[in-house]
Chains A and B, each alone.
Chain A
């Protein structure tokens, strides 16, 4: 009888190799992900909690925070709806030009946000195609809320669709076909079969979309016009403060932004942990 030979570790690399590799990985994460985050909070609190809070209660800061939330509150539901519609149409139907549509959905990820901001300037700006007509009718788009919302919607468009498309194509069309053959209308198929199967992915998409919507800088910077207390969002306000050498205040607002992102990720992880079983069940059984 030969005894069962069991290797003590899954690989036979030298222990030193493993140690070095692990250190490189951890060091990389610490240097590039953790350190900036810690620095932001460190700098924000450098002059104490009170001064950080005071910086956030300043009228321009308050208006920036309010604007960011307003923009997210409009852009995120829009993109949740667009993303759902796009994913539904791409995964449940066949049509000519489908691949093109999938590629188009990714454009905001590949195009620099500044470019998309400039496009809106070109269309709606005073010197743009529609600029004169809009001015004649007293409609303000760029340098106002509508422009910022449009730019944010553009930049965050793919988040929900990208989250839903892989899941929905994995789930296939069988359940929808079954629902229809049992007499369900399109609407009740969507509401009673499709939505319950994708609700978690939809929620992730919405959370990520929200994080990005509040954090977007480039595209918004072009269309906002930087009117302090009026069209500055939180990221823009950070830049303004920083350029004014108000470092503590800049970092206070930046810390708030970072905190919102962390809360978003926290909610996501919490949901994943809480509903692990249910989430697994929505993938192929």
Chain B
């Protein structure tokens, strides 16, 4: 009943994005795919979401042959780096989308959908903003709408592509803790991609460090810090954990000059 990825490989024309990646993560786990740009982490996430097709390998999840399922039947809630909200729909319509396009037999009633939307708006702390359009929201709010939209379909798996990449440092830290709390409440298996070591180590139960299309190491944050498996991992983590520890929850909100606050988001187009 866990997520098992076996020898997944993918080439883009002549560039090998993934060179046979394998990993196992327990159900309900919060898994981070960490690596520099070009390491293949986003490709792996998109393969899990059905937006990209693996050339080789298999993925099993929840006793399902995951890669054989078409994207629209996977019920994988995907949160895009730039959110990809439907710009011509209100926030409420955005969140309701996944429910309202279901075939009539399985579609909830209008009232039921409205109730779900209200619930989700409350969950992401955006009560009362249902009638706004995405362009009228801040980055952090859009992010949470995207999350609510993904959660509306009761996803089997939640996939987050650089969930905090496009946000400024303050909002980022706030959202990070909030997301961790949310994951603990919902217990949905979550995979998220990041190039930020702090983020991965602080949020995830398991961190897979990717480099040039291969997994260098997959371990819990504590293990990763104590026993980096290769020079690359040690080097990559070394940049980010000056004190070797996680920033405590309480102090994270306080403005601090510790660590790198302004990080260039390399993968933003």
Contact = CB atoms under 8 A, between A and B. Distances in A.
A70 B73 CA distance: 45
A285 interface: yes
A177 B133 CA distance: 20
Interface of B: 49-51, 71-78, 80, 82, 84-89, 97-98, 101-102, 133-135, 149-150, 152-153
* Nearest 5 CB-CB pairings of A with B: A174-B84, A182-B98, A181-B78, A178-B84, A285-B135
B87 A185 contact: no
Interface of A: 174-175, 177-185, 188, 192-193, 196-197, 281-282, 285
A177 B159 CA distance: 13
17 contacts: A175-B86, A180-B71, A180-B72, A181-B50, A181-B71, A181-B74, A181-B78, A182-B98, A182-B101, A182-B153, A183-B102, A185-B72, A185-B101, A188-B101, A192-B97, A197-B87, A285-B134
A175 B84 CA distance: 5
B149 A182 contact: yes
Given A179-B97, A282-B88, 16 more contacts: A174-B84, A175-B87, A177-B51, A178-B78, A178-B85, A178-B86, A178-B149, A180-B50, A180-B51, A181-B49, A181-B51, A181-B78, A184-B101, A197-B87, A281-B133, A285-B135
Nearest to B269: A172
Nearest to A178: B84
A183 B84 contact: no
Nearest to A192: B101
B76 A281 contact: no
Contacts of A178: 78, 80, 84-86, 149
Contacts, number: 72
Contacts of A185: 72, 101
A139 to B, nearest CB: 43
Contacts of B149: 178, 182
B113 to A, nearest CB: 13
Contacts of A196: 88-89
B60 to A, nearest CB: 20
Contact of B80 (A177, A192, A193): A177
Nearest to A179: B97
A86 to B, nearest CB: 22
Nearest to B13: A94
Nearest to B52: A177
A145 B85 CA distance: 46
B78 A177 contact: yes
Nearest to A191: B101
A174 B101 contact: no
A167 to B, nearest CB: 12
B109 to A, nearest CB: 18
Interface core residue of A177, A188, A282 (most chain B CB under 10 Å): A177
Given A178-B80, A181-B49, A183-B72, A282 B87 contact: yes
A182 B77 CA distance: 7
Nearest to B71: A180
Contacts of A193: 86
A197 B71 contact: no
B70 to A, nearest CB: 9
A282 B149 CA distance: 20
B10 to A, nearest CB: 14
Contacts of B153: 182-183
Contacts of B97: 179, 182, 184, 192
Contacts of B152: 182
B86 A183 contact: no
Contacts of A175: 84-87
A193 B224 CA distance: 43
